[in-house]
Structure 1
Amino acid sequence: MSDTHIEHITELSETQAAAVRALEETCRNYHACPDFPWEDYTDVWVLWSEDTSDPAAVLAAIASPDEVECIAMTAPELRRRGFFTELLDAAADFFDDTDLILPAKSDDAETRLALEAAGAEKLSTEYRMEKKLTAGTEDASSSPVKGPGVPEETDARSEQASRAGSAGLTMAVDNDEGGTRTYTFSVSDTAEPAEYAGLCRTLQEGASACFYDFEIDEKLRGKGLGRAALSLVLEHLRSAGTHKVFLHVSGDNLPAVRLYEKAGFTVTEAMNYYLY
């Protein structure tokens, strides 16, 4: 077995960052893997082997109070030598045995086997779901969207109301200059004042929008308001020139998954998360 040593780095130099990116590209050419934002991670462990002058394996981590999110990769020709487990153990020792969370695409059998061999347990599955709103291109340069996707008739911050038929659902839209919209839903009838029903947010990314923070007030659930609210939001985004909407949802949240499927969303990626 070749000699190895592990280097813990808190800030990658340009040369080190280039080496990590080169390893990532090699791994991506070998099999599909996520594109990781290395600049967001605060601690990086690099495993060097005498078999190569380049990094043999890399693990990066970013810590929160309750857990540590990690990403890791090993050069394809150097796999099955225990390098992955060495890096996991180094990170676990540094973070004083705080739970390490690692993502892997559900169709990535090799990474799944490596995680299981290292003793990691599957924790959850997250779906990325998408819905196409128009037949236009996703290139923001050819999109009719104004700025971050604000409709022509609105200012950067505005209030806009829509109503969802017999559901009595009203939607107010608040736009900010960064492309984030907050949608607030209320229900009312002729006899009672409007009552808060829920909210959601979207973030415009060119001609696409990320849909998140969707909630319906617990006491109003089971009345079809979620479906009505989602319909209002999608129609508003469509009128603003948005071509595609995407979201992330837990695979365990079956009611939400079914709601999005009925609205025309399809699963485009499934990501498993493992606990070490």
Structure 2
Amino acid sequence: MNMIRTKAPSETQNSDLLHLQEACKKHDNISLTFPMEEECIFYLLYEEDSLLSAICTFFNENGDYECSAYTIPANRQRGYFTILLEELLKETGDHDLVFPAEETCEDTVLTLHAIGADLWYQEHLMELTSSAFLKTGLTKNNRFSDSLTLSMTCDDEKEPSLCTFLINGSPVGSCYLDFRGQSASYFYGFEISESLRNQGLGSACLSLLLDTLFLRPGFEKIKKLILQVSGQNGPAMALYKKAGFQITESLSYYIY
């Protein structure tokens, strides 16, 4: 066997990585892919010309190494991942390794438990369709509702739109919308002024935004709103569920 460490995979190695990734995605019914960060380090385990297993890692802003690992399904439970992990640990020292994983992939979860990795936190992908919002929606009998307005600005059609919530002309909150194609928008960066939190303003702002997107002329083509939220953020999860958002995918982060 041949173990290769590289920051610049060759064209052949990139092709092998793609084949490995797609084989695992198909077998495990997952959507995770190798990260594409510029500073990625790849550990590749070959047997002759066949890529058996690979780990891709990069040093993130939190001071951890974020890792993605794949092993050809027919070659699992043969210690190939362990060989690469031991090589990686020689380089990472005392830094934590963080492994994103989809809980539906039993092989991944079993492997992470076997090496002693602990579940750190979860991220949830949630979505709300226009039809679901019409059935549910947020209550509007809120003390902020009558005075709250929304300003949407975008300097470039290809850039996200900044949404600013105002009361009497003064900003009290904001968020971003990234319009993806003709039918969906990604919602992120939702913040409320710190002095006005826990008073129902977040609910009022979200209600106004959803009304604008799904009910007002000019946004008829928006059929779906997508967001990502940490499972540790209980208040946000509760607000989004109340508005009709449904969890469509969950990603767990294990720390080793």
On whether the aligned pair clears a TM of 0.5, the verdict is: yes
User: Any idea what SS the aligned residue of 2:89 has?
Assistant: helix
* Shift, 1:37, TM fit: 5.0
2:47 aligned to which of 49, 53, 68 = 49
Alignment of 1:225-244 (within 5 A): 225-238=201-214, 239-240=218-219, 241-244=221-224
Shift >4 Å, 4+ stretches? none
Q: Structure 1 pair 167/253, CA: closer, same or farther in 2 (3 Å)?
A: farther
* Shift, 1:38, TM fit: 4.4
Q: Structure 1 pair 12/262, CA: closer, same or farther in 2 (3 Å)?
A: same
Give the TM-score of the pair, scaled to structure 2. Answer: 0.85
Match of 1:269 in 2: 249
Letter in 2 for 1:273: Y
* Shift, 1:235, TM fit: 2.8
Structure 1 residue 87 corresponds to structure 2 residue 63: no
Once residues 37 and 26 of structure 1 are traced to their aligned partners in structure 2, the CA distance between those partners, rounded to angstroms, is 13
User: Any idea what SS the aligned residue of 1:44 has?
Assistant: strand
Once residues 250 and 166 of structure 1 are traced to their aligned partners in structure 2, the CA distance between those partners, rounded to angstroms, is 27
Match of 1:15 in 2: 12
Cα deviation digits, residues 57-82 of structure 1 (max 9, x gap): 01111222411221111111111122
Alignment of 1:111-126 (within 5 A): 111-126=108-123
Letter in 1 for 2:84: L
* Shift, 1:102, TM fit: 0.8
Once residues 222 and 155 of structure 2 are traced to their aligned partners in structure 1, the CA distance between those partners, rounded to angstroms, is 16
Q: Structure 1 pair 84/173, CA: closer, same or farther in 2 (3 Å)?
A: same
How many aligned residue pairs are there?
A: 238
Match of 1:64 in 2: 60
Cα deviation digits, residues 108-135 of structure 1 (max 9, x gap): 2221110111221111011000111269
User: Any idea what SS the aligned residue of 1:94 has?
Assistant: helix
Letter in 2 for 1:216: I
Q: Structure 1 pair 84/169, CA: closer, same or farther in 2 (3 Å)?
A: same
Identity %: 34
Structure 1 residue 40 corresponds to structure 2 residue 37: yes
Once residues 257 and 208 of structure 1 are traced to their aligned partners in structure 2, the CA distance between those partners, rounded to angstroms, is 20
1:220 aligned to which of 196, 217, 227 = 196
The alignment yields a C-alpha RMSD, in angstroms, of: 2.1
Once residues 34 and 209 of structure 2 are traced to their aligned partners in structure 1, the CA distance between those partners, rounded to angstroms, is 29
Please list every run of 5 or more consecutive structure 1 residues that lacks an aligned counterpart in the other structure. 136-163, 189-193
Give the TM-score of the pair, scaled to structure 1. Answer: 0.79
Match of 2:26 in 1: 29
Q: Structure 1 pair 40/187, CA: closer, same or farther in 2 (3 Å)?
A: same
Question: Do the aligned residues in 2 keep the contact of 1:167 with 1:228 (CA within 8 Å)?
Answer: no
